[in-house]
Chain A
Amino acid sequence: MHSILKTSLAALVAAGVTASPAAADGHALSGELNIISDMSNPAPRAVMEGMVEDFDALHPELEVNLTIVDREAWKTQIRNALGANPPDVVNWYAANRMRPYVDAGLFADISDLWAEPEFEALSSTKGAMTLDGAQWGVPYTYYQWGVYYRKDIFEEYGLNEPSNWDEEKANCQTLLDNGVKCYTIGTKFLWTAGGWFDYINSRTNGYDFHVALARGEIEWTDDRVRQTFANWRELIDMGAFIDDHQTYSWQEALPFMVNGEAASYLMGNFSVAAFRDGGLTDDQLDFYQFPVINPDVDYAEDAPTDTFHIASGAQNMDAAKEFLRFVTSADVQTEINSGSGLGQLPVNANASIDDDKFLKEGFDMLSGNAGGGIMQFFDRDFDAEMASVGMEGLQEFMVFPDNLDDILGRLEETRQRIYN
């Protein structure tokens, strides 16, 4: 009798909470909520600060403290931050990049949060947040990758967006004949080459093969991997990429495209802001999905997801979870990913996408034309050590394609050591 009463009372309270979550939690949440964010670039920083301010206003008795750390520095500082006296909420990345912190028990398991009905709207990203059958964080933004190109140059030489590999190469040959490089790229910091590998490999061998390779289940010396490199080499031998790309960062490679010395750039959508800053208008700049290489495999796309996590040593777990609910809610998602905010794609299916041609095209591509699957990116899908050795090999391949056997042998040696 007593327990029945208790249960129904709990149910009643729960119902009340669902009916007016903000009001109910507003009274419940108190104390401090400590957040460390890596959104240090000007636009993301403003978004983060605005978001914290709004959350603070919703919960008058809660004191929200925000610390913003330089994005690059955070990649190494997170370890110390999570170790002693951890904050409640931190920024990080999805997929395999979570692995060390999950294994060390530093990220809190928030599968209960994902079991809530509101999280249905995030289901497309659930896989990227899952390790060992549990969820360890929530996404707040993601962006598509693809080929950004100079529409005016394409028009000048009568070129159309290519849909398959032969057209891609034919376009490239026309550009080269006219003294324009097909692709700009800066591989000094290696990861840009990872994007090319992701695309050529998944277009050649399919998403499942790519993921199996990332998990270390396939030898690097496999003939199918060699086929990927053979396809890539066709472009390298044509001289499709700008010279001396190993000396440039991705930003330093931008002027080649802005000046019209190169016609396109395989990049993430964050580059659009840089192109616009460089003086390209939306009439000059356009986007196409990386073309089909092997018609038997479905499109797979790189769409890296940035995330929030709760530290397992969080002092204020309730407030931290409420903050994650807040960040992923449809309204907040619409607002922070708008063109005046991050200018990226919202993770909540009920959020609306800003009226920007690149965002719209990207969203349509990812939701309608990425049947193969969504990749996080080379350095997030592969094991960290494999990724660093791998990207170095990819850079070497782009400069000295003849060294391929040596490079693949080295990668295979690394794979065997790491995964066995």
Chain B
Amino acid sequence: MATAAPTRSWYKRNEIAITPWLFLLPAMIFFAVYVIIPIGQSFWISLHDWDGLGEKTWVGTANYERLLGIGDQNMDRKFTVSFWNNLKWLILYLLAIPAGLFIALFLNQTVTGIRFYKSMFFFPFVISQVVVGLVFSWFYLPREGLLNAVLAVFGAGPVNILGDPTLATYGIIAAGLWPQTAYCMILYLTGLNAVDPEQVEAARLDGAKGHKMLWYVILPQLKPATFIAFVVTIIGALRSFDLISVMTNGGPFGSTRVLSFYMFEESLSEFGFRMGYGAAIAVVLFFLMLGFITYFLYSMYRDEKGAH
């Protein structure tokens, strides 16, 4: 390149340096316009009092002070409830991973019609979250619901899961686990295809079987699948919005709110349009997610370095 004839154009001379950037440019522009700049704007809005229509008023960190209860005010109770519910979601949603693994192991065999069974197990992931929410809210109905009909057979009293502030969040998480388990199952099924039969054979010759075989031979080979399942489940738990909106609308008396739902309620719902406060919640949620995302990016980076 350095020895190129002076008659060649500027682009030709710098082709190798520039071309990758040209290919990256569209993605970078879109990423900036739809991700980076809005993040900055959310920060900016969170420092204002704004109804989305009129002029913004600068309030500094007042929104954060109210949210976190700094100074002589109490911590925003809706925020506290949402935060703990988010934690419940994060922890319990991870149950989808072992459940998905179990079903995948169970279905990883060759019998007649196994494809049909697999697709049946995968079915809940295909249908919309809204439909899942609706079906489960019927399932939980206090009088007509199937759940109470089943409980009645065992002589257990009727429960109104979605109407009980202590149970409602768990009821929604259970509904969310249904499609999420299916998702993890499909990830593990593809992972199981890639398990090296020779290693299994060798382990068998060495006398490994049962859970030892699973733990020391199969699971290490499923690590990439586990990693992806972990990532999508964590992200899914933090994004849990549609199920809550459909099943309880945040109720009863706000006990099933999570941060994303609270953010929506404050900024965009019928009685909302407190954009500044909503943006402050968004910023807090952003930092929570950033923690997880940084961890994932770091461990991906570490794995890639290890592979080379």
A, B from the same assembly: yes
| Residues on A facing B (Cβ under 8 Å) | 75-76, 79, 83, 100-101, 103-104, 106, 188-190, 243-244, 246-247, 379, 384-385, 387-388, 392-393, 395-396, 399, 410, 413, 417
**Docked-complex contact B269 and A246, CB < 8 angstroms:** no
The interface residues of chain B, by DSSP majority, are classed as: loop
Known: A244-B142, A244-B163. A83 touches B53 (CB 8 A): yes
Known: A83-B53, A103-B54, A244-B163. A392 touches B253 (CB 8 A): yes
Q: Which residues of B contact A188 (CB under 8 A)?
A: 248-249, 251
B51 within 8 A of A: yes
Q: Which residue of A lies closest to B143 (CB)?
A: A244
Q: Which residues of B contact A104 (CB under 8 A)?
A: 51, 53-54
B268 within 8 A of A: yes
**Docked-complex contact A396 and B273, CB < 8 angstroms:** no
B252 within 8 A of A: yes
Expressed in whole angstroms, the Cα–Cα distance for A243 and B269 within the complex equals 28
Identify 19 new A-B residue pairs, CB closer than 8 A, beyond the known A244-B160, A399-B252. A75-B270, A79-B52, A100-B51, A103-B53, A103-B54, A244-B142, A244-B163, A246-B163, A246-B251, A246-B252, A246-B253, A247-B162, A247-B252, A379-B271, A384-B272, A384-B273, A388-B272, A392-B251, A396-B252
B77 within 8 A of A: yes
25 contacts between A and B (CB under 8 A): A75-B270, A76-B270, A100-B273, A103-B54, A106-B53, A188-B248, A188-B251, A243-B142, A243-B160, A244-B142, A244-B160, A247-B163, A379-B271, A384-B271, A384-B272, A385-B271, A385-B274, A388-B265, A388-B271, A388-B272, A392-B251, A392-B253, A396-B253, A399-B163, A413-B74
B141 within 8 A of A: yes
B224 within 8 A of A: no
Q: Which residue of A lies closest to B268 (CB)?
A: A76
Q: Which residues of B contact A385 (CB under 8 A)?
A: 271, 274
B191 within 8 A of A: no
**Docked-complex contact A100 and B270, CB < 8 angstroms:** no
Q: Which residues of A contact B236 (CB under 8 A)?
A: none
The interface residues of chain A, by DSSP majority, are classed as: helix
Expressed in whole angstroms, the Cα–Cα distance for A392 and B143 within the complex equals 24
Please tell me which one of the listed residues A106, A243, A247, A399 contacts residue B253 in the complex, with CB atoms under 8 A apart.
Answer: A399
> What's the minimum C-beta distance from B295 to chain A, rounded to whole angstroms?
36
**Docked-complex contact A247 and B53, CB < 8 angstroms:** no
Expressed in whole angstroms, the Cα–Cα distance for A307 and B199 within the complex equals 75
Expressed in whole angstroms, the Cα–Cα distance for A243 and B142 within the complex equals 9
By size class, the interface of chain B is: 20 to 34
**Docked-complex contact A395 and B271, CB < 8 angstroms:** no
Expressed in whole angstroms, the Cα–Cα distance for A367 and B251 within the complex equals 38
> What's the minimum C-beta distance from B243 to chain A, rounded to whole angstroms?
15
**Docked-complex contact A395 and B253, CB < 8 angstroms:** yes
> What's the minimum C-beta distance from A260 to chain B, rounded to whole angstroms?
15
Q: Which residues of B contact A410 (CB under 8 A)?
A: 77
**Docked-complex contact A395 and B252, CB < 8 angstroms:** yes
Expressed in whole angstroms, the Cα–Cα distance for A357 and B129 within the complex equals 45
Scoring B residues 157 to 173 as 1 if CB is less than 8 Å from chain A, else 0, what string do you get? 00010110000000000
**Docked-complex contact B251 and A190, CB < 8 angstroms:** yes
Q: Which residues of A contact B253 (CB under 8 A)?
A: 246, 392-393, 395-396, 399
Q: Which residues of A contact B52 (CB under 8 A)?
A: 79
**Docked-complex contact A387 and B271, CB < 8 angstroms:** yes
Please tell me which one of the listed residues A243, A384, A395 contacts residue B251 in the complex, with CB atoms under 8 A apart.
Answer: A395
Q: Which residue of A lies closest to B269 (CB)?
A: A76
Expressed in whole angstroms, the Cα–Cα distance for A387 and B160 within the complex equals 26
> What's the minimum C-beta distance from B101 to chain A, rounded to whole angstroms?
35
**Docked-complex contact A189 and B249, CB < 8 angstroms:** yes
Top-6 shortest CB links A-B: A388-B271, A104-B53, A396-B253, A247-B163, A244-B142, A246-B252
Q: Which residues of A contact B162 (CB under 8 A)?
A: 247
